[in-house]
Structure 1
Amino acid sequence: MLEPTHGVTLASIYAARKRIAGQVARTPLIRSQMLSERFSAEVFLKLETCQPTGAFKLRGATNMIAALIEQHGHDALAKGVTTASTGNHGRAVAYAAARLGVPATICLSQLVPANKVAAIEALGATVRRVGRSQDEAFEEVARLVDEEGMTLIPPFDDPLIAAGQGSIGLELLEDQPALDRVLIGLSGGGLLGGIGAALKGIRPSIQVTGISLSQGAAMWESLQAGHPVEVEEVESLGDSLGGGIGLDNHCTFALVREVMDDHYQVSEAAIANAMVDILEHEKLLVEGAAAVGLAALVEHGLDIRGQKVALILSGNGVSLETFDQARRLAER
């Protein structure tokens, strides 16, 4: 059997789970009474909001930094690690690096909300604000790697990152072995790709559904084109789903094409309504990217009657100001 071109295997996901054990949370999977009744299904919520950094990104970042230390020794990272991020990955790298005794510098675009910047700085990392897009922030990352000898911890496009996120899929099937479908926010593809690889590796019949923004969705446009393309970033309630996938993408584009069964885009209004619903009925404050699974169920009228379905609540990195914007939009 040929090895996958993307480098993510079920074995690498199990290895990642072993590596990150004790460093990240094994998050709860809870049944939503409200959503189960609403959709005549068994609807479960995977609470990655319970991670110490408030989002799933901690899994991949911890796995990669720990793996590099295992492979090359701690001294190999003495000059520090760096990345560009829309917020959650930067916070995850800062947290994981601090836990593992490695300095970190996080490059962020000007579009990243101030609350996420403050959260990263509070973890002891150095923050640099560069440009109006993640691609521009990555130009500074490239300079830090080339000129200052730092080590890149990419937000998504690496087998170690995707394998770390894939540990979520293992937990899903341990808690609910008979799942029929999982709805996952899709941007760079590390989350969906990793979870999808785990699910398909154990139960190939599970339906993996990707959810992207209605505008500025690089993975959506790239899949339509058949190769990675650039898109213009736009402000969104689902800002964590913004950013490009990289024209030289070497992992997640192929991985997503392999494991994803269907794909939907959701509007800002649908995201806003979903954020408000989740707070009102589940008492959970989530960011827009975490609410896109529910947004897709409603906006596209997806028929899940009689199925066991999981939604990935990927993070809670939302300011009260942003949530208030969502609430006002939902009232229209």
Structure 2
Amino acid sequence: MRNPANPGRIPDQTPGGPATGSPAEPCWREELLAARRRIAGIALPTPLIPSPALSERTEAEVYLKLETLQPTGSFKLRGATNKLVRLLESTSESSRVPGVVTFSTGNHGRAVAYVARRLGLRAVVCVSEGVPPVKLEAIRRLGAELVFAPTQDDAEALCARLAAEQGLVPVHPFDDPDVIAGQGTVGLEILDDLPDVEAVVVPLSGGGLLSGVGLALRHFAPGGVARPQGIAEPGGRASSRPAAATGARQSVTAPQLIGVSMERGPVMFHSLRAGRPITLPEEPSLADSLLGGIGLDNRWTFRLVRDLATDVVLVSEEAIARAMAFMLEEHGLLVEGGAATAVAALLESAAAPPDSGTSDRRVESLRGVLPWRPEGPRPKPRRVVVVVTGRNVDPRRVVSGEPLLQIPKSRGLPQP
């Protein structure tokens, strides 16, 4: 059925969730641990590796959480798995799921298609005309049906219509508690490997990943509001922390959480600045996986990002291109533009202090935390994790240096 508050919005599918008014708050601690159990065997635990190159530039211990090694090439597999497995857990044999439908900039659609095929479900993925061919082909190979719309907002409206007309279960790419909890398993694994992490930097679009990681840090990190003594609970296994972190002092305050978006059409950033969800025109960007709105009737991630993020910053297209090249040259890693935003934020902050006046080496900060500086509102962290969220980009573009040579032209973005 359609959401009565917004005919173009996919209906809420959360058990006990909202039909009208405010959503019922899940017990996030339990949801995160349950998500970790559900996704096992489909989404994989990913390694946390040190980055000597980033550590040298930032004068901190920097580690990379490699979600690029998921079977579908991005962290999105976690949330999609948790959502679909829970759906089947809660569905009786007499009311089998006819299929699922979603909208996506590519990575979430690929994840839904992958999990649906594993579980024997029909999958329909609504995409905008701006989704790169490499991502469309990956979704097709997994057997999902592709349906096209002009923009991401149009794709969301199409998703709602198909759910209503065909009885398909919608799988929202970010604004869903099951998806948020699935993405939050990234945070649990970070705490397994580096329990005294002091900052986590994540790409930010709709906010599912930042919300999930932030909830994991809040409930399980030393200094978080609900963390018991010891760090064993999230993983229940011996730590595989990088050797460089051995013997480091334990944090006494909750880790900082930094979200990073591109300068072109950063809807969450401007929504936070406005104090409410807003819409913006879509702009072409190397960070195509971060495109799209957050929904004017956003029920979960706007509030969670607002409450959990220490800061949200923007990086330029040039900075994203430099970060993609940096990851290939320094680590031999193919990284898509959306994933490179988090690396770009550290590189640009280290390259140009806020008062340097260097116009093309900068970050725009919502709350003034990044770049870290002695007189800033938060201390510079000693141990930083960058979540490298995805690798789904045409490798020929990166190897040839095309991101630096053919940065998409802006159509001009009006201020909200």
**TM-score, normalising length: structure 2:** 0.76
Which runs of 5 or more residues in structure 1 are unaligned?
Answer: none
Secondary structure of residue in 2 paired with 1:44: strand
Aligned to 2:132: 113
Aligned to 1:135: 153
Equivalent runs, 1:1-332 vs 2, <5 Å = 7=26, 9-73=28-92, 76-131=95-150, 133-203=151-221, 204=224, 205-301=254-350, 302-303=371-372, 307-323=382-398, 324-328=401-405
Q: Deviations over 1:24-82 (max 9, x none)?
A: 11000001122112222111000000000000000000100110111123664532101
Q: CA, structure 1 residues 77+290, in 2 after alignment: closer, same or farther (shift >3 Å)?
A: farther
Tell me the amino acid that sits aligned with residue 402 of structure 2: Q
Q: CA, structure 1 residues 8+328, in 2 after alignment: closer, same or farther (shift >3 Å)?
A: farther
Q: CA, structure 1 residues 50+76, in 2 after alignment: closer, same or farther (shift >3 Å)?
A: farther
Q: Is the 8 A contact 1:48 1:56 kept in 2?
A: yes
Q: CA, structure 1 residues 289+130, in 2 after alignment: closer, same or farther (shift >3 Å)?
A: same
Cα offset, 1:143, TM superposition: 1.3
Tell me the amino acid that sits aligned with residue 121 of structure 2: V
Tell me the amino acid that sits aligned with residue 40 of structure 1: E
Tell me the amino acid that sits aligned with residue 289 of structure 2: S
Greater RCO, CA 8 A, separation 6+: 1
Q: Deviations over 1:158-209 (max 9, x none)?
A: 0000000000000000000110000011100000010111012122310000
Secondary structure of residue in 2 paired with 1:45: strand
Alignment root-mean-square deviation, CA: 1.8
Q: Is the 8 A contact 1:8 1:197 kept in 2?
A: no
Q: Is the 8 A contact 1:6 1:255 kept in 2?
A: no
Q: Is the 8 A contact 2:278 2:296 kept in 1?
A: yes
Q: Is the 8 A contact 2:97 2:169 kept in 1?
A: no
Tell me the amino acid that sits aligned with residue 138 of structure 1: E
**TM-score, normalising length: structure 1:** 0.94
Secondary structure of residue in 1 paired with 2:340: helix
The count of aligned residue pairs is: 327
Alpha-carbon distance in 2 for matches of 1:299, 1:252: 27
Alpha-carbon distance in 2 for matches of 1:187, 1:74: 36
Q: Is the 8 A contact 1:8 1:163 kept in 2?
A: no
Aligned to 2:413: none
Tell me the amino acid that sits aligned with residue 326 of structure 1: P
Secondary structure of residue in 1 paired with 2:35: helix
Which runs of 5 or more residues in structure 2 are unaligned?
Answer: 1-21, 225-253, 351-370, 373-378, 408-416
Cα offset, 1:240, TM superposition: 0.7
Aligned to 2:353: none
Alpha-carbon distance in 1 for matches of 2:322, 2:216: 30
